[in-house]
Amino acid sequence: MTLDPHHSTRNAPVWIAEAGGHHAVLAFSGTLDSHALQVLEELLMDPRLREPTHWTLEMSGLENIDLASAFALMRAVTRAPEPVSLTVRGARPAVHRVLRHAGLDTVVTYAE
């Protein structure tokens, strides 16, 4: 797996923390809303996410997510050329509710 060496210089609410082989970790912090939606959508098209078939979404640092961002995650998973399994780790109750409203409960496993 490779760590994203550029994250420390970015102030993005989402970044690829690890990617390699069949596993990728996307880390989230702060607020993921309409202002950050383009950042999220561009990240989800990153070539490093093409090979991994399992993504872990580390959301312990995420305070809030809007429905548009949650739908973007759902689209990325359901439209991937290869099936992607998803684990959400550390989501706060408010974040979990939004993910559920977007339908992610049908394709995600939750972990503490």
Residue 4 pLDDT more than 50? no
Q: Which of 24, 9, 11 is nearest to 76 (CA)?
A: 24
How far from 37 is each of 29, 43, 60, 68, 83, CA to CA, in Å? 14, 10, 19, 7, 23
Tell me what pLDDT residue 58 has: 98
Average pLDDT, the chain: 89
Residue 6 pLDDT more than 80? no
State what percent of residues in the chain have pLDDT above 70: 91
pLDDT digits (tens, 9 = 90+) for 21-48: 999 999 999 999 999 999 999 999 999 9
